[in-house]
Every structure is written in structure tokens, then in C-alpha cells.
A and B are shown apart, each in its own frame.
With several copies, the nearest count.
Chain A
Amino acid sequence: MSRLMSEEGIRIDGRRWNELRPVKIEVGVLKNADGSSYIEFGKNKIVVAVYGPKEVHPKHMALPDRSVLRCRYHMLPFSVEERKNPAPSRREIEISKITREALEPALILEDYPRTVIDVFIEVLQSDGGSRCAGITAASVALADAGINMRDLVAACAAGKVGGRIVLDINDEEDKMGEADMPVAYLPNLKQISLLQLDGKLTADEYRECLNLAISGCMQVYNMQREALMKKYFSTADKGGEDEEE
């Protein structure tokens, strides 16, 4: 196993244990969509579009009391090392599902009965943590589409690499490390809407990991707010943490 962690506690890409990779979020990048966003999260490059609320076809899918949320997480063929077949893989189908379940609690779907809201997540380039980056960007795109929301959803993984609990696992750390735990968090409701784990953690490590992931989500949340403010308030003031949108 390659040394993923130096003696000084520096990770393979130069970060410390509690540091995020560089993040860039843009809002409103696609003309046709009702809401859209673009995120770079480490080497992840992801574009998200939201269409809706809109009429449902076929009509029998409509619900009388709320909107139906549909999600698709999809990777472009050239987004990974080995060219990927464009047809949806089992992994993409699972991530589409857990992404929908991570976003759903943040949306006030009751405000849009008999409609559908479509979220399309397209991974242009993939790195470790693409599901978290996708959820983060999707939440911003939903806000950009003007959908009523209880909260944003900010997502970030923590994990165990070279024996230490660290924040925001990249691709190499995911492959060589001991554990990866993606978390999605609703910062104002203080609720977790996504939790997965691959790899082994003791009960103590698990708690440490969870707390670290939540602190990462709070950092991501601030970047989401900044990106939205930058689009919607011309004097792009960096939003304080205690403001509500």
C-alpha cells in the first residue's frame, strides 16, 4: 500500500486531515433548464439541471397532494479512467436513488401538487466523492429553479485513511484507504439525509467520522450560499453563517 499520509499528517494531495479539496460552484450555467449549477470538487466536474415543477406524463404518475421528485445521476463515457458504457450501471442506479432520498427531505413538495420535478446530474469528470458533489450541486440547482425548500442539502464524506480519520476522501484515498463515509446534511434542520459506509470503523471512529463529515458539510454549505448570493445579489457579499435565505 502506498503511503497515503506523511509523518507530518499531510495527505497525498497536500491537504491536512480536516481540509476540503478546492471547491468551485457556479449557478445558472444552462440556458434551457429551470435551474442549474456547475461544481468542481477536487477533480470532480459536475453539471446539474432542474426542470420543473411541470406537468407529469404519464398522468397516472401524478400525486394529488405533492410533487413527484425524479433524479438521475449519470456519468459521461469519458469521465472515468476506463471508458464507461453510456447505459446506466447498477452503481449509477443506486446513486440516483440515494441522491433522491438525500434531497427529498429538503423540498416542500406539498407546494406543487400534480407536478414533477426532474433533477439531472451529469458527471463530466469523476473523482472520489462524486455523489456528495452531485447532491451539493443539485441542491443549489433546485434553489436556482426557485423550488420552495426547507433547507439546502450539503454533502461531504469523511473516512479513514492510513489509520487516521480524515475529511473529504479523494479517488486514491478511496481506493487505498480503510473507510469512506458519505454524508448529506441539512444544516438548519441539523438532520442527516444521506449516510453510507464502505470499509471498517470502530464505534468511536464512526462517531468521529460523522462529526468531521458534518463539519465538512457546514463548509460546503457556506460555499453553496455564496454561489447563490453571487448570482442573486449583485453586490456579491460573502454571506454570514447566521443568515437565512
Chain B
Amino acid sequence: MSVKKTTTIVEQLRRAQMSELLAMNKRLDGRGLRDYRELRIDVGLIKKANGSALVSLGNTQVIAGIKVEVDEPFPDMPDKGLFICNAEVLPLASPYAEPGPPDEDAIELARVVDRGIRESEMIALDKLVIISGKKVYAVFADVSVLNSDGNLFDATSYAVVAALLTARIPKYDVQNEMLVKSEETIPLPINTIPISVTMAKIGDSIIVDPTAEEEACMDARITMATDEHGRICAIQKGGSGTFSPEQLTEIANIAISIGKERREKISNLAARE
């Protein structure tokens, strides 16, 4: 059953302080309301994966690895490859994380990141068919959070995107309905790069890229992913607060404009293999 994580007295006090600052357009770490923390992306760290990326967003650190297997397609989608995204918050990521199967937060994280990639049609799944109805590529994206300091949604999304952009998958030749793995590797067929932008509402302010401290005080959270044409392709509101319709219009504008500028940065960072 779903139940809210408890907030402490300290967090409630901190919230008061934070609201005061935000009323003056300031944040605890000195950033402006629309500023991201420093982003670093290292790709190719894991040679045993088909693709990998280690992303630091301020103190938040996540690692994504891509593994590609050959599998059967779903019976109702004989001409589509498979994309499966999993996330776990490792117990070393924070004093509050615990070993065990993914909890509702980790499941939501994986599903929202998956949605951004799937709905933007980032991967051309129709080009991942080897034998129609029988053999397709199955692309597994596994993300592990190494250090948790807020905005896991964007960090995870950037890591999966960067790992997919730089992945190399084996090429198969088909001989008499049998697959023969060739020496050659090929990149994944990519249509677009979706960019996730996560915002938090604290009091009346909308801030971008919240830290863990800010998340502990926030009323609500929202993640929007946009594609290269500036279309919104996935949204997830979170948290026990609400947004007004006007705020949601503002939020979409932020997501589209910041998305555009960050797309370039992320493509460049991911390309530096």
C-alpha cells in the first residue's frame, strides 16, 4: 500500500527558512530558481555493458547500464523490439535507503523515465526486429542511484539517455532462420533525444532541479519530458500538494525552454566518449 514518507520537525523548520528565501528569489545553495546544478556525464565506464553512463547532478550520482539481448517480441507487437527500464536506489545512496526490492519511489522513478523515452519514441523499436514475430532485440536499461541528493528523475533520465546514445549492440546475420552473431557492432537506432525537466513547488515558487533538502520541504513535484520538436511527451506530478492551472502553464513553458538548452548540453556530453 502506498503511504507517505514521514517528515521531521527539522524539515518543517527548514521549510519556513526556505520559503522566506524563495520569496526573494534565492535558494539555500545560491542558485537562481531556474538554475540546474552542475551536470557531469561520463560514458563508457562499464565495458561489460553495451552502453553506460555515470551522471552527476550536483551531489546526486547515478549510473546507468544498457544490456541488449535477443528475445521474442510480444505476440501483439511482432515488429517491435523491447525496451525495459529498471531503477533501484542502492542502500549506499543515502542514510534512508535500505536493501531490498524497489519500493514505490524507485518503481515510479523507473516508470517515469521509461515513459519519457518510450513516448518520445527515442529508440526506433521497429528497427530492432531481427526476424519478424520471432526474434527482436530486448534493450534493458538498469539504473542504480549511488548518491541521492534530490532530482533523481532528471539524473536517471539523463543517464539512460546518454547510455542509449552511446550503446553499441551486436549485429546478427540470419542464416536459415538461425541467428549468427557478427563481429560488427552497431549503434541503437535513435529518433530523438527526450529531455526531462523536474520542478518543485514550495509555497508559491516553482524551482527547477530540487535538492534533497528542497524535496523534503516541497509541496509538490512535477517532471516534464520534451522531444526535439518542443512537444511534451511525458508528465508526472508527484507529492501531496497541488498545482493551479496557471502554474501548470508556466511549468510547461519552463520545461520546453530549459529542455531545448539542456538537450544540446547532454548530446555533447554524451558524445565525448
Chain A positions near chain B (C-beta within 8 angstroms): 30-33, 36, 43, 45, 47-49, 51, 54, 61, 63, 68-72, 74, 76-81, 83, 86-87, 90-91, 93-94, 96-101, 104-105, 118, 120, 122, 124-126, 181, 186, 189-203, 206-207, 210-211, 214
How far, in angstroms, from A1 to B142 measured CA to CA in the complex? Answer: 32
Partner of B244 from the list A69, A100, A190, A200 (CB cut-off 8 Å) is: A190
Instruction: Tell whether B14 is near chain A: CB-to-CB under 8 Å.
Output: no
B52 adjacent to A181 (CB under 8 Å): no
The 27 listed contacts between A and B (C-beta, < 8 Å) are A30-B61, A30-B146, A32-B93, A32-B148, A47-B92, A47-B146, A51-B92, A70-B1, A70-B3, A76-B63, A76-B65, A86-B142, A91-B111, A94-B104, A97-B238, A118-B1, A118-B91, A120-B99, A125-B47, A181-B235, A192-B244, A192-B245, A197-B224, A200-B119, A200-B231, A203-B232, A210-B245
Instruction: Tell whether B175 is near chain A: CB-to-CB under 8 Å.
Output: no
B66 adjacent to A78 (CB under 8 Å): yes
Q: Specify which chain B residues have a CB less than 8 angstroms from the CB of A69 in the assembled complex.
A: 3-4
CB distance from A94 to the nearest CB of B (A): 5
Partner of B234 from the list A54, A186, A197, A203 (CB cut-off 8 Å) is: A197
Q: Specify which chain A residues have a CB less than 8 angstroms from the CB of B48 in the assembled complex.
A: 43, 78-81, 125-126
CB distance from B121 to the nearest CB of A (A): 8
A189 adjacent to B242 (CB under 8 Å): yes
Cβ-closest chain B residue relative to A49: B92
Knowing A32-B149, A120-B92, A191-B242, the reply to whether A202 touches B233 (Cβ < 8 A) is no
Centre residue among B144, B227, B253 by max chain A CB count within 10 A: B144
How far, in angstroms, from A71 to B1 measured CA to CA in the complex? Answer: 5
Q: Specify which chain A residues have a CB less than 8 angstroms from the CB of B111 in the assembled complex.
A: 90-91, 94
Centre residue among A99, A197, A211 by max chain B CB count within 10 A: A197
Extra pairs beyond A120-B92, A191-B242, A202-B229 (19, CB < 8 Å): A47-B92, A48-B92, A63-B6, A71-B2, A78-B49, A78-B65, A78-B142, A81-B48, A90-B111, A93-B107, A97-B2, A97-B108, A125-B49, A197-B234, A200-B120, A203-B253, A207-B249, A207-B252, A210-B245
A96 adjacent to B104 (CB under 8 Å): yes
B237 adjacent to A194 (CB under 8 Å): yes
Cβ-closest chain A residue relative to B247: A192
Partner of B142 from the list A76, A120, A197 (CB cut-off 8 Å) is: A76
- What 9 A-B pairs have minimum CB-CB distances, sorted nearest first? A78-B65, A49-B92, A191-B242, A197-B235, A120-B92, A78-B49, A96-B2, A104-B240, A77-B142
Instruction: Tell whether B204 is near chain A: CB-to-CB under 8 Å.
Output: no
Q: Specify which chain A residues have a CB less than 8 angstroms from the CB of B101 in the assembled complex.
A: 86-87
Partner of A78 from the list B67, B231, B241 (CB cut-off 8 Å) is: B67
Q: Specify which chain A residues have a CB less than 8 angstroms from the CB of B224 in the assembled complex.
A: 197
A93 adjacent to B99 (CB under 8 Å): no
Partner of A30 from the list B45, B47, B92, B115 (CB cut-off 8 Å) is: B92
Interface size of B in residues (CB-CB distance below 8 Å): 69
CB distance from B230 to the nearest CB of A (A): 7
Cβ-closest chain B residue relative to A192: B243
Cβ-closest chain A residue relative to B49: A78
B146 adjacent to A45 (CB under 8 Å): no
How far, in angstroms, from A77 to B67 measured CA to CA in the complex? Answer: 9
How far, in angstroms, from A171 to B238 measured CA to CA in the complex? Answer: 24
CB distance from B162 to the nearest CB of A (A): 14
Q: Specify which chain A residues have a CB less than 8 angstroms from the CB of B229 in the assembled complex.
A: 202
- In chain B, residues 87-119, which have Cβ atoms closer than 8 Å to a Cβ of chain A? 88, 90-95, 99, 101, 104-105, 107-108, 110-111, 115, 119
Cβ-closest chain A residue relative to B84: A83
Q: Mark B132-172, 1 if CB is under 8 A from A, else 0.
A: 00000000101010111100000000000000000000000
Partner of A72 from the list B52, B91, B110, B252 (CB cut-off 8 Å) is: B91
B244 adjacent to A96 (CB under 8 Å): no
How far, in angstroms, from A172 to B120 measured CA to CA in the complex? Answer: 20
Partner of B233 from the list A190, A200, A203 (CB cut-off 8 Å) is: A200
Instruction: Tell whether B179 is near chain A: CB-to-CB under 8 Å.
Output: no
Q: Specify which chain A residues have a CB less than 8 angstroms from the CB of B32 in the assembled complex.
A: none
B52 adjacent to A78 (CB under 8 Å): yes
How far, in angstroms, from A6 to B254 measured CA to CA in the complex? Answer: 36
Q: Specify which chain B residues have a CB less than 8 angstroms from the CB of A186 in the assembled complex.
A: 242
How far, in angstroms, from A124 to B59 measured CA to CA in the complex? Answer: 19
